[in-house]
């Protein structure tokens, strides 16, 4: 019996691996080094700014700077928890999982209904984009605050703050373009799940043609999609938070 070829294991961030699985794509590992990729992504003005930040004289640091402490740690934790909570509690993503107050017997005795072929991905796309915007705004503000604190600690940390600012400006548009493609990939996953449910109902109709009632439609596929979408959002949050984690590590070490 012929077997489908196994997809090669993909390394890298959880977001990339998750999207590759949901898109049912066999994604090859890139052979380019990070330096080669950055050379393609940075424009010449960005390269000059980065070179100046790395090679220039370290900025002077004013005396009497406020030390990094618990307040900054707690703010970073608060922002992340707030974003995680927004994803976990979003009403569009909760779906039928929130309708748990009805008893099992009541759900089992629910009338048989036809598949809702009008379920549209547009509402999910809008929620994804809104949550992306929330992440970008909150994390960008937090990143700027940490840079401002870094700039007051020591010349080497002040240089790091400048480098981070340059990289954020240089790669921001690239990041928005790449992450902006995620809703489209999820849209394909949504349609495959929806089509699979439609096929299941059609097969049930053909098997039980003598039953006049429409086959029982299940929203399990939709709940599965909601769960997948939340997983992607959380994985994207991890990626977006990496610069913050780097700045925090530098502040903890000073």
Distance CA 163, CA 156 (A): 11
Q: Is the predicted pLDDT of residue 224 greater than 90, yes or no?
A: yes
Higher pLDDT, 108 or 24: 24
Residue 236 lies inside a defined structural domain of this protein: yes
Residue 106 lies inside a defined structural domain of this protein: no
| Cβ proximity of 52 and 185 under 8 Å | no
pLDDT value of residue 216 = 60
Higher pLDDT, 220 or 99: 220
Number of domains in the chain: 1
Q: Please give the mean pLDDT across all residues of the chain.
A: 80
CA dihedral defined by 16, 21, 24, 27, rounded to 10 degrees?
40
Runs of H (alpha helix) within 89-219: 91-94, 104-108, 122-150, 155-180, 182-207
Residue 50 lies inside a defined structural domain of this protein: no
Higher pLDDT, 209 or 39: 39
Q: Is the predicted pLDDT of residue 250 greater than 60, yes or no?
A: yes
| Cβ proximity of 217 and 113 under 8 Å | yes
Higher pLDDT, 203 or 209: 203
Longest dimension (CA), the chain: 86
pLDDT value of residue 47 = 83
Residue 55 lies inside a defined structural domain of this protein: no
| Residue 210 CB-half CA count within 13 A | 0
Written as six digits, the tokens of 102 are 């009805």
Residues of the domain holding 220: 65-95+122-254
Residue 29 lies inside a defined structural domain of this protein: no
Cβ neighbour number for residue 234 with a 10 Å cutoff = 16
If pLDDT is split at 50, 70 and 90, which confidence band does 63 have?
Answer: low
User: What mean pLDDT comes out for the span 224-246?
Assistant: 95
Enter the DSSP assignment of 65. P
| Residue 100 CB-half CA count within 13 A | 3
Written as six digits, the tokens of 215 are 């086959």
Distance CA 62, CA 233 (A): 40
Residue 253 lies inside a defined structural domain of this protein: yes
Enter the DSSP assignment of 32. S
Residue 1 lies inside a defined structural domain of this protein: no
Residue 182 lies inside a defined structural domain of this protein: yes
């Amino acid at each position: 019996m012929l077997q489908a070829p196994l997809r090669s294991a993909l390394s890298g961030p959880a977001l990339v691996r998750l999207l590759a699985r949901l898109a049912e794509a066999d994604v090859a590992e890139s052979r380019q080094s990070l330096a080669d990729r950055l050379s393609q992504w940075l424009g010449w003005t960005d390269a000059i700014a980065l070179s100046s930040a790395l090679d220039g004289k370290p900025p002077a640091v004013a005396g009497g700077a406020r030390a990094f402490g618990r307040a900054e740690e707690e703010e970073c934790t608060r922002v992340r928890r707030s974003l995680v909570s927004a994803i976990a509690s979003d009403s569009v993503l909760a779906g039928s999982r929130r309708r748990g107050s009805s008893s099992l017997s009541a759900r089992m005795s629910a009338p048989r209904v036809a598949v809702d072929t009008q379920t549209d991905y547009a509402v999910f796309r809008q929620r994804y984009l809104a949550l992306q915007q929330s992440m970008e705004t909150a994390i960008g503000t937090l990143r700027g605050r940490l840079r401002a604190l870094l700039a007051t600690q020591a010349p080497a940390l002040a240089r790091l703050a400048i480098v981070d600012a340059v990289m954020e400006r240089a790669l921001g548009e690239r990041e928005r373009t790449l992450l902006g493609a995620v809703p489209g990939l999820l849209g394909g996953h949504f349609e495959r799940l929806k089509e699979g449910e439609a096929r299941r109902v059609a097969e049930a109709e053909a098997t039980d043609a003598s039953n006049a009632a429409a086959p029982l439609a299940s929203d399990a596929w939709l709940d599965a999609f909601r769960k997948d979408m939340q997983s992607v959002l959380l994985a994207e949050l991890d990626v977006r938070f990496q610069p913050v984690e780097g700045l925090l590590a530098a502040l903890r070490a000073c």
